[in-house]
Amino acid sequence: MGWCSVVSHDSSARFEKTTEVTADSLTLIEGLPGLGLVASIAVDQITKQLGLEQHGSIVSDDFPSVAAFEEGRVRDAVRVYAGDDPAVMTLQSDVPIPPTAVDSLSRCVLNDVADEFERAVFLAGAPAESQEEIGEVAGVATTDQLETSLTDAGITLADGSGVIGGVTGALLDDCYRNDVPAAVLIVRSNPYIPDPGAARAVIEDALEPLVDFDIDTQELLEQAEEIQQQKQQIAEQLQQYQQQQEPDPRTAGMYQ
């Protein structure tokens, strides 16, 4: 069904599985916090709409020492969900992944989760330079087959050259180096606040035709302000991590 990783590095992150996956040809959709929190907002909606069940969690000493909760119950901060129809797996986090934990998280996904999915779709935010650009999507693929899938879904391939950083870049690179088919959708979004509008656009214009499911995104419009408030704390933590890192002039055009 999936692809076995050959990564052999030690990793402080580990996958604690709580259920068994029965579906074949699963697509992993990554929803970790990044610019505009587009991935996080979009995948929250997908997990809820499809009624995916928690499949397990990823834990690491490198993750922030916090207790995440929802509706009065404590839960794991970094979680994996899965469902049979459609065959979708999601990776979500209630906290930004600190730079020190990026490599171990990526290796954990490759070592412990990748044999359960057939392909991965990652989401990376890119700052929109105008209001009109918000929601524009471009794709990058690791294989010919996925490149064809992107174009068949009406997704424009990214022009020129660039660099994808952060946890999304690490995941994409590990997939590429270990022959796990993967694509990244680069979404133009508001760089300053959580952006439900950009999340809605990437669901409707890219993920729905690529993964072949139907998601009701109306509440992303109706509850945009509430969603922004819910995600604001994560956005502030993410900004702190980014400010702590020394800027590298070689990666001025980096998406993450």
Mean pLDDT of the chain: 86
Q: What is the pLDDT of residue 9?
A: 46
Residue of 165, 185, 166, 168 whose CA lies nearest to 253? 165
pTM of the predicted protein model: 0.86
Lowest mean pLDDT among 91-95, 215-219, 248-252: 248-252
Q: In this predicted model, what pLDDT tens digit does every residue of 121-162 receive, in sequence order? A: 999 999 999 999 999 999 999 999 999 999 999 999 999 988
- pLDDT over 90 (residue 3): no
Distance CA 228, CA 78 (A): 20
* Interhelix angle 224-244/38-50, nearest 10 degrees: 130
Average pLDDT over residues 36-59: 94
Domains and CATH numbers, the chain: 14-255 (3.40.50.10900)
Side chain identity at 169, as an amino acid letter?
G
Residues 6+ apart with CB under 8 A from 165: 251, 254, 255, 256
Q: 40 to each of 134, 227, 248, how far by Cα in Å? A: 16, 11, 26
Q: Do the Cβ atoms of 139 and 183 come closer than 8 Å?
A: yes
Q: In this predicted model, what pLDDT tens digit does every residue of 52-103 receive, in sequence order? A: 999 999 998 888 777 667 677 777 889 999 999 999 999 999 888 988 999 9
Here the contacts of 156-160 (C-beta below 8 Å, separation 24 or greater) are 158/186
Average pLDDT over residues 212-222: 91
Average pLDDT over residues 20-31: 93
CB atoms within 10 A of CB 233: 11
